[in-house]
Structure 1
Amino acid sequence: MYISDKTKEAATYDAIVIGSGISGGWAAMELCKKGLKVLLLERGRDVKHVVDYPTATLNPWDFKLGFNNTNKDKEEDPIQSTSYSPADKHFYVRDKEHPYIQEKPFHWIRGYQVGGKSLIWGRHCYRLSDLDFEANAKEGIAIDWPIRYKDLEQWYSYVETHIGISGTKENLPHLPDGEFLPAWDLNCVEKHLKDSIKKHDPNRVLINARIANLTKTWDGRGPCQERNLCSRGCPYGGYFSSNSSTIPAALATGNLTLRPFSIVTNILYDEHKQRATGVSVIDTLSNEKFEFFSKIVFVNASTIATTSILLNSTSSRFPNGFGNDSGQLGHNLMDHTSAAGAYGILYDQYSDMYYKGRRPEGFFIPRFRNLKDDENLGFKRGYNFQGHGERQEWGDKSRYIVNEFGEDFKAKLTTPGPWTVWMQGWGECLPYFTNKMSLSDKEKDKWGLPLVKIDFAYEDNENKMIDDIRKTSAEMLTQAGFKDIDSFRYTKPGGSTIHEMGTARMGLDPKTSVLNKFNQIHDVKNVFVTDGSCMVSSGSQNPSLTYMALTARACDFAVDELKKGNI
């Protein structure tokens, strides 16, 4: 349902949600279900579930160049092409059309369409614990979180029950259990590694990855077909996305107006009432400018885009950006490290074993470093491992079977090779004030908006952690009897893990934070920010589940406050 009426009455809603990705879709659904008339603004094109997944059912041979990006792709999309392939390129922006300034190397991966990056996310879902929520306060780093696990526990359960997460209960205090659907079975080599890890170090454990892929039909979606083609969009609704779940649920209420092709330039502010009144929008098809009005505004455009909107929303009251009395807006940018790990081959074992289908998940090794205060490792916080085991296939073998042909050559290629395991560490990034984003005062995009500048670097703590990741991954494979172990450390700039967060952090003190414990801007009570920009620290877990839980919690609070007349 698209709108173009310029009259203020027709352009007024109970709530405006900016951005339709993971958290924006949740905000739209929650507010609509609570009876509010909601305008959902998306700067990109519309993507309808099922009908707008053009590559979802294509075979490998249907791609002219296979899954290889062309030299032209790499030239025109030097950042996005590090993440996309011909199978999902259409869900990523074009770098030439959407430039930004890298003051230090940073990969800003973006999907400008209805559904945002919920169409291409990794789908791993893990709760944060008080080990994460209390770390800043205990270590004297940055500021304390204004909430603890007990504040979010019920909202984690609420979100998990809706989206459907496969997993196993493990009773680990630093990785709280959730509401799980049945998990896929680990394969034989993953079980082999699990048993070895348990034998050599009881503080380490290998578990099933917890992932938003449905092992059974859930809420009218799925089940997952085990095709492992998720980034193309799933016509079965086998994994959670805004397009398959929250946006259809919001539309079903009759309370949602969805407007794609709408770039929000700034938030409108009434200095007399000390509240936001709405937003200004550029229609990217017509280049017309519109204003829309509402009682509350949820800003969920994704970390860097959200903060760019806030920074661009200046007034005499907020000359340095909307709600930026603390001077923290744009600072404390974080992204997990994912630069190190190991690969190994298990020869002469389980040669009579194989697997069926292509699971969308593998295994997960929860954080085991710095769980106690006395480890003295030379770095703070910790990391997890994500990985999978499989048998070598023809593509792996073809690299070293050369100058052969005929029947024997075919047999070598088509006979499964030995079992292998690949594992990579996801490390926590500390919140540094110097890691930041800002707006250029000179360069602008084609809509006349200032370009984003990003100044980010991993520091000594992250680099020491990466070294430890490389060491422990090789150690675990060696202990399990793997051979030809390749422990690797890539050179990957910030942003490469696509877990950017921070820049508009929550906090108890308005002097040191942008948002309060309910994700309200401290001095503008009718504006909420619940995407990754609100994060105070990063943990090592994939963060999207936390964004969704925070969003559901903030929506519940916002509607209650609206009914009470407090906002």
Structure 2
Amino acid sequence: MNINGKAKEQNTYDAIVIGSGISGGWAAKELTEKGLKVLLLERGRNVEHVKDYTTAMKHPWEFAHRGKITLAQKETHPYLSRDYPYNETNESFWINDNDAPYSEKKRFDWYRGNIVGGKSIMWGRQSYRLADLDFEANAKQSIGVDWPIRYKDIAPWYDYVEKFAGISGAKENIPHLPDGEFLPPMELNCVEKDVKKHIESKFKGRHLTIGRVANLTQPHNGRASCQYRNLCSRGCPYGAYFSTQASTLPAAMKTGNLTLQPHSLVSNIIFDEKLNKATGVTVINTQTSATTDYFAKIIFVNGSTLGTTFVLLNSISNRFPNGLGSSSGQLGHNLMDHHFRIGATGEAEGFDDQYYYGRRANGIYIPRFRNLGDEKRDYVRGFGYQGGASRDSWMRGVAEMGIGANFKDELSKPGQWKMNLTGFGECLPYYENQVLLNKETKDKWGLPTLDIDAEFKDNEMKMRKDMMNDAAEMLEAAGLKNVTTYDNGSYPGMAIHEMGTARMGRDPKTSVLNAFNQLHEVKNVFVTDGACMTSAACQNPSLTYMALTARAADFAVKELKKGNIA
């Protein structure tokens, strides 16, 4: 008994954070800085800042397959290999699909990191605030449930996380795209400036700005500014974009209050029915398959939307036979993602004597302009655009059967200026878009897997027509030539913005979490990653996860000190 008691004491912390990605890293930082002893659990291997970015400085010709993946890798990564994020330059950062399979009722592309830092190493870094337009939409349109917060509740926390993370951008005074605490913006190139001028003069209420991005334009918090290499997904040895490794993890480590434990797959949260609270987690060592219990007063679940949902669904007890905090019937439902891969491209003339500096790791942004005010389309909500202008490179000659000095000389010159606009549209929270626990199909460690059943529906399909045609209309109005539209198809998961399966809400009967990301039914468990989202808006969501996490951590520690969740 003494041995067991001592072991439990050694495995006890003030707080446990599950997952070390964007939100998990923030949870670890905030909780440790507030004096709590924190155990940060990550299923993947450790990746040390700088040292383990093994491909960050490689030239294209140093990759055996020039960045492409092999047939063998396609077999071990049947889902990840469908699209560009998983490639030879960063393939070691991603999970092996065959080790942790999932089932698709309908196609769903699930991109899962398998490293300390999670997808904070590979993310696109676009960082936009949600506005009251987004927080109020569900209530006004009687869709899903009402957000339990409004912009005023989260605005100070947007300020807080932006100041630490370092977000570069331009202030535009657009009510539905609130300005933030920005570092100096990156510069639009000559074609983008010209297109901006034409769009804003010919279309009332439409704006084009430089992307608001978590890349530094000046040294910040001991990190160097962006080197304009555009190799971010390999890991940045300069620390020039926000990631767990470059930002939140060093801050948490500095406190002396953090224990980081990689190779730690959380199978379930331990719930004490007599105390009506969670007491800890059960962890499987992914290298040895050994199982260990760890204990804490509060638990933050930040395993990325579907990883978090799995942990909650698999945390079964007499009180919660369908998963921890599941009495509302909403756990696992309302899965959302943005739909994209649609828009238009065109050619710009008159700029052949101009070029741009470096490889800017950022593009332009056109915020939502549909269904604002009195306008009514045949769909609800809206979309924004990302994209940019650039000149064709020498690779334009790859498909040509050219040879000789003249051919090479021609390819040494910058090619045609082109500009692309890609729409990112909002997906509504549909109850039937869901994930379920599959107890028949097990992963490498004997755990159940997920069945994913989600699709874009009629509202999204109607929206896509405008996403394509509006892009072409704006490029044509800006004077671009040979404008062509495209729709490359979009399936849930592709945008890597999955969210919504443990939504926030005002009523425990219709939502999983309250206004502070706290489980309605288990007061010492918090969920602050994408699973908490009540609606998707059309902006990239990661900045909102950061702000919600910092806010929830502040609340959790105050409640802990008051004895309300001890």
Taking structure 1 as the reference length, the TM-score comes to 0.97
Q: 2:60 aligns to what?
A: 60
Letter in 1 for 2:270: L
Letter in 1 for 2:138: N
Q: 1:363 aligns to what?
A: 364
1:286 is displaced (CA, Å) by 1.4
Matches within 5 A, 1:335-484: 335-347=337-349, 349-372=350-373, 374-399=374-399, 402-484=400-482
1:375 is displaced (CA, Å) by 1.9
Q: Secondary structure at the match of 2:9?
A: coil
Matches within 5 A, 1:78-97: 78-81=78-81, 82=83, 83-97=85-99
Structure 1, residues 81-120: CA drift from partner, whole Å, max 9, x if none?
A: 2221211111111212221001110001000110000000
Q: Secondary structure at the match of 2:467?
A: helix
Q: Secondary structure at the match of 1:7?
A: helix
1:6 is displaced (CA, Å) by 7.5
Contact kept, 8 Å, 1:340 with 1:467, in 2: the verdict is no
Moved more, 407-416 or 224-233: 407-416
Q: 1:552 aligns with which of 550, 553, 560?
A: 550
Q: Secondary structure at the match of 1:13?
A: strand
After the TM superposition, which parts of structure 1 deviate over 4 Å for at least 4 consecutive aligned residues?
none
Matches within 5 A, 1:287-298: 287-298=289-300
Q: 1:219 aligns to what?
A: 221
Q: 1:149 aligns to what?
A: 151
CA distance in 1, matches of 2:105, 2:5: 41
CA distance in 2, matches of 1:362, 1:117: 20
Does residue 120 of structure 1 match 2:122? yes
Q: Secondary structure at the match of 2:482?
A: strand
Letter in 1 for 2:564: N
Contact kept, 8 Å, 2:342 with 2:467, in 1: the verdict is yes
1:403 is displaced (CA, Å) by 3.5
Q: 1:257 aligns to what?
A: 259
CA distance in 2, matches of 1:260, 1:92: 15
CA distance in 2, matches of 1:97, 1:541: 32
Structure 1, residues 365-392: CA drift from partner, whole Å, max 9, x if none?
A: 00000111x3221010000000011111
Structure 1, residues 315-346: CA drift from partner, whole Å, max 9, x if none?
A: 01111110111010000000000121111111
Structure 2, gaps ≥5 residues long: none
Q: 1:9 aligns to what?
A: 9
Contact kept, 8 Å, 2:339 with 2:495, in 1: the verdict is yes
CA distance in 2, matches of 1:253, 1:382: 43
Contact kept, 8 Å, 1:125 with 1:210, in 2: the verdict is yes
Contact kept, 8 Å, 2:208 with 2:367, in 1: the verdict is yes
CA distance in 1, matches of 2:286, 2:69: 28
Letter in 2 for 1:164: G
CA distance in 1, matches of 2:65, 2:227: 26
Moved more, 410-419 or 100-109: 410-419
CA distance in 2, matches of 1:100, 1:361: 33
CA distance in 2, matches of 1:189, 1:124: 21
Contact kept, 8 Å, 1:5 with 1:11, in 2: the verdict is no
Q: 1:45 aligns to what?
A: 45
CA RMSD of superposed structures (Å):
1.2
CA distance in 1, matches of 2:224, 2:114: 25
Q: 1:517 aligns to what?
A: 515
Q: 1:280 aligns to what?
A: 282
Question: What is the identity percentage for the equivalent residue pairs of Structure 1 and Structure 2?
Answer: 58
Contact kept, 8 Å, 2:342 with 2:489, in 1: the verdict is no
Contact kept, 8 Å, 1:394 with 1:413, in 2: the verdict is yes
Q: Secondary structure at the match of 1:216?
A: coil
Contact kept, 8 Å, 2:45 with 2:114, in 1: the verdict is yes
Q: Secondary structure at the match of 2:379?
A: coil
CA distance in 2, matches of 1:263, 1:95: 15
Structure 1, residues 304-323: CA drift from partner, whole Å, max 9, x if none?
A: 01011000001011111101
Moved more, 245-254 or 410-419: 410-419
CA distance in 2, matches of 1:292, 1:149: 36
Q: 1:161 aligns to what?
A: 163
1:68 is displaced (CA, Å) by 2.0
Letter in 1 for 2:10: A
Letter in 1 for 2:352: S
Q: 1:192 aligns with which of 188, 191, 194?
A: 194
CA distance in 2, matches of 1:551, 1:412: 52
Q: 1:305 aligns to what?
A: 307
Q: 1:529 aligns with which of 527, 530, 546?
A: 527
1:466 is displaced (CA, Å) by 1.1
1:492 is displaced (CA, Å) by 2.5
Q: Secondary structure at the match of 1:266?
A: strand
Q: Secondary structure at the match of 1:267?
A: strand
Structure 1, gaps ≥5 residues long: none
Letter in 2 for 1:506: M
1:396 is displaced (CA, Å) by 2.1
CA distance in 1, matches of 2:334, 2:97: 25
Letter in 1 for 2:129: R
1:5 is displaced (CA, Å) by 11
CA distance in 1, matches of 2:422, 2:478: 16
Q: Secondary structure at the match of 1:276?
A: strand
The count of aligned residue pairs is: 560
Letter in 1 for 2:226: C
Contact kept, 8 Å, 1:6 with 1:290, in 2: the verdict is no
Structure 1, residues 36-65: CA drift from partner, whole Å, max 9, x if none?
A: 000000011011101110100001111112
Matches within 5 A, 1:100-111: 100-111=102-113
CA, structure 1 residues 78+485, in 2 after alignment: closer, same or farther (shift >3 Å)?
farther
CA distance in 2, matches of 1:248, 1:269: 32
CA distance in 2, matches of 1:526, 1:333: 24
Q: Secondary structure at the match of 1:295?
A: strand
Q: Secondary structure at the match of 1:521?
A: coil
CA distance in 2, matches of 1:303, 1:426: 19
CA distance in 2, matches of 1:9, 1:299: 22
1:233 is displaced (CA, Å) by 0.2
CA distance in 2, matches of 1:356, 1:300: 38
CA distance in 2, matches of 1:107, 1:8: 39
Contact kept, 8 Å, 1:398 with 1:413, in 2: the verdict is no
1:491 is displaced (CA, Å) by 2.0
CA distance in 1, matches of 2:204, 2:72: 50
Q: 2:494 aligns to what?
A: 496
Letter in 2 for 1:538: A
Contact kept, 8 Å, 1:278 with 1:291, in 2: the verdict is yes
Taking structure 2 as the reference length, the TM-score comes to 0.97
1:397 is displaced (CA, Å) by 3.9
CA distance in 1, matches of 2:68, 2:8: 50
Q: 1:20 aligns to what?
A: 20
CA distance in 1, matches of 2:263, 2:452: 25
Q: Secondary structure at the match of 2:268?
A: strand
